[in-house]
């Protein structure tokens, strides 16, 4: 396929992609909320390599925002996004309206046990149910063979893997490493909202996580927590929301660093009015 095809309706998208699948082409899918950056483009390049057709969706999903201001301020840069999609030879963009995605009020309630109660789930009530609803709908429409998700949203990735298991979906979820700016800041659409002063402070987040990874064996969990709180909160405009070292599968907090396997340190904080998250694998 040469030119980016843009669809706004479920019907057109599904008709086109069903035909592609029945002609034997595999579909790689990257769902996004737009404001595309290099992190998204990395997911897409990989999806392009591993599949016959690359489909991207851009939809700022209102039901996953627990904060109205965050939804209002979420960057929307469709024209620029389309140029980026063309530059990496994306085949299909699905960019529906809220009315198209939610013709009726959505009532589904998923049960992910503990997974959506901790960290992001605790601070953003309803967020993961909204994510699960939209991702399930997108999978139903696109019917991808593989779908690509960044590890920056680690909890989201674990919940989507669980959704796929619970619903017996045939899509393969492909986790992709975090893409960082040269100074270590994890790429995120929300970075666009940082002031120049805030942007200068932002690399402290990754530096703090690296300190945790490199020094965890020297300290107790309490000492590590104390260090992170003071590293983050001592900067003007930075306010830690949570820092947790959790098991990668269960997302339950690790109580003893010695001997614990497969854990990941996750952080969420406000930098001015912008909420940022990041993480680093400890083992």
Residue 127 among the catalytic residues? no
Considering the complex, what minimum distance in angstroms separates the CB of residue 263 from ligand PAF?
23
Q: Decide: is 131 part of the binding site for ligand PAF (CB under 6 A).
A: yes
Considering the complex, what minimum distance in angstroms separates the CB of residue 42 from ligand PAF?
14
User: DSSP letters along 189-245, please?
Assistant: GGGGG--HHHHHHTTHHHHHHHHHHHHGGGS-HHHHHHHHHHHHHTSTTEEEEEEEE
Q: Decide: is 64 part of the binding site for ligand PAF (CB under 6 A).
A: yes
Q: Taking a C-beta distance cutoff of 8 angstroms, is the pair 209, 203 a contact?
A: no
Stretch that binds ligand PAF, among 10-18, 129-137, 213-221, 266-274 (CB under 6 A): 129-137
Reading the block at residue 129, the tokens are 């149910």
Q: Which of 76, 83, 86 is nearest to 33 (CA)?
A: 76
Considering the complex, what minimum distance in angstroms separates the CB of residue 31 from ligand PAF?
4
Angle at 266 between CA 261 and CA 272, to 5 degrees: 170
Burial of 205 (0-12, 13-18, 19+ CB in 10 A): buried
Q: Decide: is 135 part of the binding site for ligand PAF (CB under 6 A).
A: yes
Angle at 206 between CA 205 and CA 210, to 5 degrees: 125
Site string for ligand PAF, 17-56 (x = CB under 6 A): --------------xxx-----------------------
Q: Decide: is 271 part of the binding site for ligand PAF (CB under 6 A).
A: no
Among residues 20, 51, 61, 155, the one that binds ligand PAF under rule CB under 6 A: 61
Residues in contact with ligand PAF by CB under 6 A are: 31-33, 61, 64, 131, 134-135, 153, 156
């Amino acid at each position: 396929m040469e030119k980016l095809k843009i669809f706004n309706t479920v019907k057109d998208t599904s008709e086109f992609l069903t035909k592609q699948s029945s002609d034997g082409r595999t579909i790689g899918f990257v769902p996004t909320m737009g404001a595309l950056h290099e992190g998204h483009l990395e997911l897409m390049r990989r999806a392009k390599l591993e599949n016959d057709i690359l489909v991207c969706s851009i939809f700022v999903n209102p039901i996953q925002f627990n904060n109205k201001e965050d939804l209002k301020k979420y960057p929307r840069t469709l024209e620029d996004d389309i140029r980026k999609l063309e530059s990496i030879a994306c085949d299909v963009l699905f960019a529906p309206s809220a009315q198209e995605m939610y013709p009726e009020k959505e009532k589904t309630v998923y049960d992910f046990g503990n997974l959506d109660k901790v960290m992001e789930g605790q601070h953003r009530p309803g967020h993961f149910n909204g994510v699960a609803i939209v991702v399930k709908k997108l999978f139903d429409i696109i019917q991808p063979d593989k779908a690509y998700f960044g590890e920056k949203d680690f909890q989201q990735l674990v919940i989507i893997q669980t959704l796929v298991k619970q619903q017996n979906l045939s899509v393969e979820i492909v986790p992709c490493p975090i893409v960082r700016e040269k100074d270590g800041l994890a790429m995120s659409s929300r970075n666009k909202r940082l002031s120049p002063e805030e942007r200068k402070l932002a690399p402290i987040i990754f530096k703090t996580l690296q300190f945790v990874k490199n020094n965890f064996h020297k300290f107790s969990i309490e000492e590590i927590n104390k260090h992170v709180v003071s590293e983050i909160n001592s900067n003007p405009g930075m306010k830690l929301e949570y820092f947790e070292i959790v098991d990668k599968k269960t997302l339950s907090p690790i109580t003893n660093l010695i001997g614990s396997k497969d854990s990941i340190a996750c952080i969420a904080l406000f930098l001015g009015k912008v909420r940022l998250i990041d993480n680093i694998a400890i083992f």
